[in-house]
Amino acid sequence: MQFQELTDKQRDAIKPHIPKPAGTGRPHSNDRMILDGIICVLASGYGWSEMPKTCGDGSTANPRLRRWQEFGTWKKILGRAIKSAHKSGRIDLQKTSIDSSSVPSKKGAIL
């Protein structure tokens, strides 16, 4: 899958779900850039160290991905996307399913 940056409209929809920085410690890296980096790595299969410099640093993006996972950020974003697509008629939830058996696991994965 080829990486494509989010549009301003997509970022605006996601922004309310991104946790606010603590306000203490080191300056917070740009969420917009880090979000693009996370999507780039997940969509392209790059390693964190191979992440394009225009998307920030992998040593920042990887912990941010994990922290947002712990906060439930990704579930909130997915829920918002599904609700928006359903509301606009782009998906019919009566005809939607997810089949994880079609997703291959990585070599050495624990099943």
pLDDT digits (tens, 9 = 90+) for 51-78: 888 888 999 999 999 999 999 999 999 9
In a 10 Å sphere around its CB, with 0-12 CB exposed, 13-18 middle and 19+ buried, how is residue 20 labelled? exposed
Question: What digits encode the pLDDT tens for the residues 80-94?
Answer: 888 888 899 888 878
- The overall average pLDDT reported for the chain is 84
pLDDT of residue 61: 93
DSSP-assigned states of every residue in 12-76: HHHGGGSPPP-SSSSPPPPHHHHHHHHHHHHHH---GGGS-GGG--HHHHHHHHHHHHHTTHHHH
Task: Supply the DSSP symbol for 84.
Answer: H
Q: How confident is the model at residue 98 (pLDDT cuts 50, 70, 90)?
A: low
Q: How confident is the model at residue 21 (pLDDT cuts 50, 70, 90)?
A: confident
The pTM score is 0.73
